[in-house]
Structures are given as C-alpha cells and as structure tokens.
Amino acid sequence: MNFDDTPQEAEFRAIARAWIGANAPRQYEDELRKSSLGRTVLKNANILEVAKAWQKKKADAGWACLHWPKEYGGRGSSPIERVIWQQEEGPFGQLSRMFIIGHGMCGPTMMAFAREEHKRSYLPPLASGEKVWCQLFSEPAGGSDVAGLRTRAEKDGDDWVINGQKIWTSGAHYSDYGILLTRTDPTVPKHKGLTMFFLDMKSPGVEVRPIKQASGASDFNEVYFTNVRIPDHQRLGEFGDGWNVSLTTLMNERSAIGAAVSTGFPELFEYCSSLMLDDGPAIEDRAVRSKLANWAVKASGLRYTSMRAISALSKGERPGPENSIGKLVAGSMIQDVATYALDLQGAAGVVSGEDAELAGRFQAMLLRAPGTRVEGGTDEIMRNIIAERVLGLPGDIRVDKDVPFNMIPTKGR
Amino acid sequence: MNFDFSDDQKQLRDQVRKFLAEKCSPKAVRVVLDGKAPYDKELWKGLAEMGFLGVAIPEEFGGAGAGHLELCVIAEEMGRANAPVPFSSTVYLAAEALLIAGSDAQKKKWLPAISSGEAIGTLALFEGKGNPSPKNVKLTAANGVLNGFKRPVADGAIASFAVVAARTGSSGRDGDISLFLVDLKAGGVEVKSLTNLDPTRGQADITFKDCKAEPLGAVGEGWSILTQVLDRAAVLCAFEQVGGSDRALEMGRDYALDRIAFGRQIGSFQAVKHMLADMYVSATLARSNSYYGAWALSTNAAELPEAAAAARISATQAFQHCAKNNIQVHGGMGFTWEFDCHMYYRRANAMALGLGSLTYWEDQLIDRMRKKNAA
C-alpha cells in the first residue's frame, strides 16, 4: 500500500507539470483557486474567453481530452494519465467547467454512435474548445423520469421536425451544438419510443431562455424547439433506440473519477479555526468539535474512496462501484455545512452578499446547495442506483413500463 | 498509486474467510453468546495454528513476521464472523503494547506465548465511567506494587496477563502515568466477570491488592505509550468494524431479496432500498478511512494519530448504523434471539465504547487536525 507513482506515471506527471508550468494562465490562478461550488468568476476578464484560450492552447499541444483517440482530437492516454493530468492542472481545471458536458457526455456519445465523417469533423473542435456542446435531455415532464419526455421528432422527407421544450440545459446559451433526446413514437411504451440526434444550436426555431434559479443566479436554461429541422444523418443510433444511446451518455457522466467534489468542509474548518464565539474560540467548543469531526470523516472518506478508484485505474483495473457515493454524500453535506456555518453566526447569519461574514460565502453556499442535491440525478435516484446496481436489489415496480406512452395517465388527462 | 491491499494480502483474506466460515459459524458464536463457554477455545487454538495470532509479531518472538497490513486483513474477517475470541485485547492491545515498550525479556516471555495461543493478554485502563484520560487513572503503583480497581477490562476473566495503567505521580500531567505488566495468575488479583452488551466478548472487574508488577516502558512514559497503543488498536478495531458493517449490510440485503410482503420483495420498496443504500454509503466511507489508517499504521507515518481517529469514528458510526438498520430491515424477526442480527448490534455497540467513546475520538480528531494545520 502506497501513494507513489509508478515510474511511467512519474514520468508522465513530470512532463505534464512542466508543460502546465510553462503555459498555464498564471494571472488567474488565485481567483481560480478560491472559486468554489460550480461558480467560477474572474473580475477583470471574460471567463468564457479565458477558458476557450486555455483549452485551445492545450489542444494545440496535445493536452486536450487526453483519453480520446488522437484522430478525434485527444491524446490516446490511459485513464490513470487522465487523472494525473487533472491533479497537475489543479485550479486551472476550473476553466474546463464549461466543457464538462461536451467532453464528458456529448463526445463519448458521438464517438459511440455518430458516422465516421461526423466524428472526424465534429470531435476535434469539441476537444479544442472551439465549439461548445450541451445536452438536451431533461424536460418539465421528464426529470428523474427522463424517459417520460415529450419533445416530438417527426419524419418529413430526409429531415426530422422537432417541437417541444427542454429544461435545465447547462450552457445552452453559449453552446454551438447539442445532443437531443426526442420522442419519435408515442404509441409504444416510453423507453422504446425515443430517438437521439445532434443538432446545430443556431438552427432556426431554437430559442434559449435562461432560468432564474432559486439562488437568484442563472446557470441553466430552457430551450424551446419550434419546427426545428434536423437531417436524418444527424441521428445517433437507430430509430427507437434513444434510451440505450442516452444510457451511454449518462454512464459517462458518472464515470468521472478523480474529480474533486465540494463538501464545504475545508471552508468550514478554516472558518471555525479563527471564529470567536461568545464563550471563546469556536474550535474549542465541544458541540462545534463534534460537528466538525463528523463532517471531517465524511470528507476524508470521500477523498480516500476516490484514491481507491484511482489505484484501480493505475493497475489497469476497472474501479469498483464505490465512487457512486460521492455526489450523494457531498450534496447533502454541503447543505448541512452551510446551514451550520450560518448558525454559528447567530442573527447576523441572515445577511448575505458583500456585507456578510466572509463576503457571504456560506450564505451563497446555502442558497446554491439545493441544486447540488438535484442536478445530475437526485439523491433519491442516486440511492436507487446504489441499491439496484451495487447491492442488486430489485427495481421499483413500474406501472407505466408496458403501457404505450400516449396511454400513460398524466395530470392533464 | 497503489492504495489497496496486495494480491498476497487479498489471498490471505480469502484464506481467513474460508477458515472462519468453517470454524466460526453463527452456531459456534452462539455457544459463547448463550454463556456455555467464556470464549471459543477451539477457534483460538486454530487461529494460533494458522499463524494468525502472531501475524504482526516478529519471527524472533515466535510470530509470523508479516506486518500490520496482514493484521488488518485478518481483523476485518474476525469482525465479519463476529468471532467470540479475545483477539482484540490480546493482539491489538497487549501485543502492541509489548512491541512498543516491552524489554527484550518481556517480549521473549509474552509474545511467543501470544503467537502460540497459550497467553491471553489485555489492557486494564478504565476505572468506571469516563474516557481515556490521565486524570481518570487512580490505581496507584509504588515500589512495584499495585493497588486499585479497573472496570471494565475486556476479556479480563480469561486473560493470563494484563498491561495496567497506574498512577506514579501527582503533578497533574501525563507523566504521572506509568504502565505495568501483571501476571494475572499470580497473587494480589481478584477478578469478577461482568454481564455486558456483547456476551461473545467478556468484560470483568479486576481489583489489585498489593499486587506485584513489573514496569512496562519507562516510569512516566505510560500515557505516551498508551496513546500509541490506542491509535494502533483504533485502526485494527476499525477493520473489525468494517467487516461487521459489511456482514450486517449483506444480511439486510439478502433478507430484503428473500422476504415477500404486500405481494413483492421488500427490497423493491424505496423506503427499504434507500435504507440499504445509506448503509452501503457508511460502510464505504468507513472502509476508505480505514485503508488510510492501515497505510499510516503500516508505514508508521506521522499521519497515524489523525488517520486512526478518523478511521475509528467512521468505522464506529458505520457498524452501529449497519447493525441497527439490519434489524430494521428484518422487522420483527430481527428482534428475536433466534436471528443473528442482534449479535452484530451487540458487537457494534460494545466496540463503539471499548477504546473510548465517539465523543472522545471526535475530540482527539479535532486536536490532531489542528496540530497538523499548525505545523
């Protein structure tokens, strides 16, 4: 048992470190290091431009999408090399946020299902960040139950005509392309009537509207489709096979190993270490210490769980299912941590924004936290996944499983 | 990075699991649970023959000379099987205290006897309510003679010797405490068995009356040695707790698949599934924290105190959580003596206290994290 690199890993790390040292946009390092919880803001620069410039620079030197094949803009690296790169990229990895969906979900789906000429033309600019992609699955009527989606695609000559609405689309407002899951046959059970496409987000009839979230910020969008035409050669997978195609996409979403999840614990520990309560330092208060200790072991448990997965990659093995706990644990933990940080502030904890304690860091965390427990699979869906795929428990009994989609009862009928 | 046990260590795990499946079935555990024997003598003998008792003891002292990682692997299996033997008190506490502080003569006398299964050892630290603290040690030592009372002493009624914490000064500092080795079969010792939460591992009162004892380690060094012993034992116990957590989770999962109610497997109800998923989460966090503890223990890293406290807290929580919810999944049957669920519930809650309670370890963890941050 050790935490050492193999000689090959050490060599790769040294090369990566040297290149990053010579090329990374150091002027933003401090700001990137301090950004947390899904929001990266630069005071004096446009984050989108900085991110695209860094991604292009990496791509030109062969450091973009490391695990992708070279002919599609990647480096053909092993999974462990990808993890080492992430470790070395450190805070500059924050700049990859806007590409996560494209690189992590759209790219792998294109690789598995697109025509060869499309892969060669669309994937390299996706890898280099010149083109940004988004994923259009969730709908008002299909969130956790994504197979209940209603956006229609109807064949018209060599084209498909799309009508409907998507929601919770990250980055739709700056995306060039998207992968889109649609209903092509409402007369068969819901999982069987879906088909996947990719489309140009600048197509006529696509309208993107930002959602104002409960936190007040706008990170997501609604996307409306009115008679949008998609040529049939942009279909991904067979007609009616969209559910299986989407599983490829979602599996890739969950296989991001080694990516650090925010728990809020380091921030809380630092805060409590200097905070004075009425009776003395917070860190010497029995109740505070007990809370901190309980969160400390969750945070360290997640850290070492991730290291176990990395070790499996290092040995060329498939990581076990342990990593599936990350989002479930971190999501509710960050909410509890933020709630407690405000509790320690007493009545003044109600003040948010620049005037608040630590410029409102924990207040912002509290208001953003509900989203982390929902996005990318709710806590409940994550528990179902663990119970069914890890523990082998039976799936829920589904009353709509064998019913044609257009016969499933809804609120409206 | 290779943050995992080696193939050899995994093979050892399979070997131990197989051995315990044969020699330590729930039926065998029940002999001790029902009070028909103080511990499983046959199993103890078998563990010695397999070389498991002395796995981390150097060969020159009669052990197998493997290491702490191998011991962690065995500990996990002992916890999974709920083994009714004095493994933790003898191997994690007494043997480790000897390895850390024993003189050559003391090691030669006791370590081979531990490896061969002839000697059962324990640590006599607590004196009634309270957590590990120098100020809670009232038993006195003067001129090699002990006077005082210890409660509870794990496996005290079957132990052949004990490491005893005694007061040798009154400055109010850690240096007031010294450790002594006591042959419990010699005079000056009165032992009384206690009923306790987990009858598969005994607890006892021991009264020392003008009892002759030899120092273990230098006088005044007792608390520092004890802290190291407790850290090591915390990691090793964590592996037992991880093994117990996994077993309790498996039992709950199997029952949820087997039991039909309302016309379906109860494991198809989300209320039950989610409970089991949460048990898996706790058990996984505990395992990962324990692996880090194992790494720190096996390399004698500066991180050991923090890693041990984290492993202790995480594994204690996981075992308690899995054991109690295993009963919940079983419903009424889980609350019968006949079903095995309560054995793990008892063990989980007894283990949560044995090296000091969660409150104590939470406090320790924060102290140690602060120390690290200050350094």
Note whether A300 contacts B280, CB cutoff 8 Å: no
| pLDDT per position as a tens digit, B241-272 | 999 999 999 999 999 999 999 999 999 999 99
| pLDDT per position as a tens digit, B297-339 | 999 999 999 999 999 999 999 999 999 999 999 999 999 999 9
CA distance B58 to chain A (A): 20
Mean pLDDT value across residues A243-258: 73
Note whether B362 contacts A293, CB cutoff 8 Å: yes
Note whether A301 contacts B3, CB cutoff 8 Å: no
Q: Which among A308, A314, A390 has CB closest to B280?
A: A390
Element (H, E) at A370: helix A361-372
Q: CB contacts < 8 Å between A and B, how many?
A: 160
Please say if the pLDDT value at position A254 is more than 60.
no
| pLDDT per position as a tens digit, A351-398 | 999 899 998 999 999 999 999 899 888 999 999 999 999 999 999 888
The residue assigned the tokens 């997978």 is: A237
Mutate to test the interface with B, among A291, A304, A378 (most CBs of B within 10 A): A304
Which chain A residue has its CA at the smallest distance from B249's CA?
A391
Q: What percent of chain A has pLDDT over 90?
A: 75
- pLDDT, residue A401, reads 85
Note whether B4 contacts A304, CB cutoff 8 Å: no
Please say if the pLDDT value at position A34 is more than 90.
no
- pLDDT, residue A258, reads 58
A25/A28 Cα distance (integer angstroms): 6
List the 389-408 stretch of A: residues with Cβ below 8 A of B: 390-397
Tell me if chain A has a CB within 8 Å of the CB of B3: yes
Q: What rounded mean pLDDT belongs to chain A? A: 92
Ranges of residues in chain B with a pLDDT under 70 are: none
Tell me if chain A has a CB within 8 Å of the CB of B5: yes
Tell me if chain B has a CB within 8 Å of the CB of A2: yes
- Is B314:B245 a contact under the CB 8 Å cutoff? no
In which band, very low, low, confident or very high, does the pLDDT at A318 lie, cut at 50, 70 and 90? confident
Element (H, E) at A198: strand A194-200
- pLDDT, residue A259, reads 64
Q: What is the DSSP letter of A388?
A: I
B58/B204 Cα distance (integer angstroms): 30
Please say if the pLDDT value at position A346 is more than 60.
yes
In which band, very low, low, confident or very high, does the pLDDT at A253 lie, cut at 50, 70 and 90? low
* Per-residue CA distances from B331 to B252, B256, B282, B325, B326 (Å): 10, 10, 21, 10, 9
| pLDDT per position as a tens digit, A216-247 | 888 899 999 999 999 999 999 999 999 999 98
Note whether B3 contacts A311, CB cutoff 8 Å: yes
Tell me if chain A has a CB within 8 Å of the CB of B173: no
Tell me if chain B has a CB within 8 Å of the CB of A305: yes
pTM metric for this prediction: 0.94
- Per-residue tokens: A79: 């999974």
- Is B92:B231 a contact under the CB 8 Å cutoff? no
Taking Cα atoms as reference points, which of A201, A330, A190, A188 lies closest to residue A267? Answer: A330
- pLDDT, residue A32, reads 87
| pLDDT per position as a tens digit, A151-189 | 999 999 999 999 999 999 999 999 999 999 999 999 999
Is A253 noted as a catalytic residue in this protein? yes
In DSSP notation, A230-256 reads: EEGGGEESSTT-HHHHHHHHHHHHHT-
